[in-house]
Structure 1
């Protein structure tokens, strides 16, 4: 069974001066999830926002809050992000020595657990935790900044993760350089959740966001044999 097709706009590319309004606009424009990139200036070379910001924007959408923690260590902050309103919490393979424990902790908080792989990390790095995850996030750029170009080798990794998932009910998500131009190849390789920042928020208004989301969805739906 195919997992549902998900378009998850990353608010990292939104106008931070009106963040709540931007979340509401992409919600109304057709977003399935809201993707939240949390960066600490340590694990990745940028600082974005923390749980207080997520708590502040939570009332602006009832859609799934898909929180991607690019922070190290992550364990001390899992509860704060859960309480802030995250529905999915994703941690990186590379962020600490006790990935299994981190994923258990997320599930103990009543949240869905995700694991993320940087471009240089092989799919096999998650082989021994695959039964603990609800989502695998494949980074198709080096994490830390929006607006980067998609790394083509991510396509092979998507297929490798799909093989590892072996029919389990796991969402396979791709983040970095996703556009309407490459969404078909990403979906054909086996991903069902597409994170897009710049490609969604270009245009700066709800009408533009709606057209951008629709274009990505239409491109990704083709290889899945779905009509949009």
Structure 2
């Protein structure tokens, strides 16, 4: 990848790991943090073996959020709920490749609603399945853990997968961002960005820390240093 395609990575703390009893406070304290987006994981207990939150909770988050809501639908038949999630405050809506029989139609539905359209890939799904739709996407979300639960360990093969996804996007002329969801920490964030990641979702690493705002600032400083070192190395 050439230097001209390097983007400043975005941070999207996942509210799945926040204190659900204090979601208003958790959301509001991120207003002046290093967070660029707020990542919202919606789970239905069918596509994944867990249930998180739905439309009423997303509406409540939206009322108190300063950042755009990055909504990740880990649900079956997402096409039936797209308009409702847009009305609830979603800026980006990501559906799973594995949950959509007619993926192109669903992506076009998301775009028609005025949202950015994303497609997520489970760890076992190869990036090549998106070759024919990559140019239509605003976001590709690569799961770096198996979807359904927070706090899982990062899957090392994700680094290779990110690099392969970046190559596919370049080859297809797609401007889609690559987002990583699962097990992101200070230990792997720099390597993910170097491999081609544009958006990092961090849940447990942020919200299980004593000070989530300070942790996000630390992650931002680490990524800025990574980009700075890369620039210096290419001068």
TM-score, normalization: structure 2?
A: 0.91
Q: 2:102 aligns with which of 94, 98, 101?
A: 98
Q: 2:81 aligns with which of 48, 57, 77?
A: 77
Q: Distance in 2 between matches of 1:29 and 1:125?
A: 36
Name 1:173's counterpart in structure 2.
179
Q: Distance in 2 between matches of 1:119 and 1:27?
A: 32
Q: CA RMSD for the aligned pairs?
A: 1.4
Residue 52 of structure 1 deviates from its aligned partner by 1.6
Residue 203 of structure 1 deviates from its aligned partner by 3.3
Q: Which runs of 5+ in 2 are unaligned?
A: none
Q: Distance in 2 between matches of 1:173 and 1:68?
A: 11
Q: Distance in 2 between matches of 1:132 and 1:76?
A: 20
Say whether 1:225 aligns with 2:228: yes
Q: Aligned runs of 1:117-128 on 2, under 5 Å?
A: 117-128=121-132
- Contact 1:184 / 1:221 at 8 angstroms: preserved in 2? no
Say whether 1:35 aligns with 2:39: yes
Query: What is the number of residues matched between the two proteins?
Result: 224
Residue 212 of structure 1 deviates from its aligned partner by 0.9
- Contact 1:187 / 1:221 at 8 angstroms: preserved in 2? no
Q: Distance in 2 between matches of 1:130 and 1:42?
A: 27
- Contact 1:186 / 1:220 at 8 angstroms: preserved in 2? no
Q: Aligned runs of 1:127-146 on 2, under 5 Å?
A: 127-146=131-150
Q: Which runs of 5+ in 1 are unaligned?
A: none
Q: 1:56 aligns with which of 55, 60, 68?
A: 60
Q: 1:6 aligns with which of 3, 6, 10?
A: 10
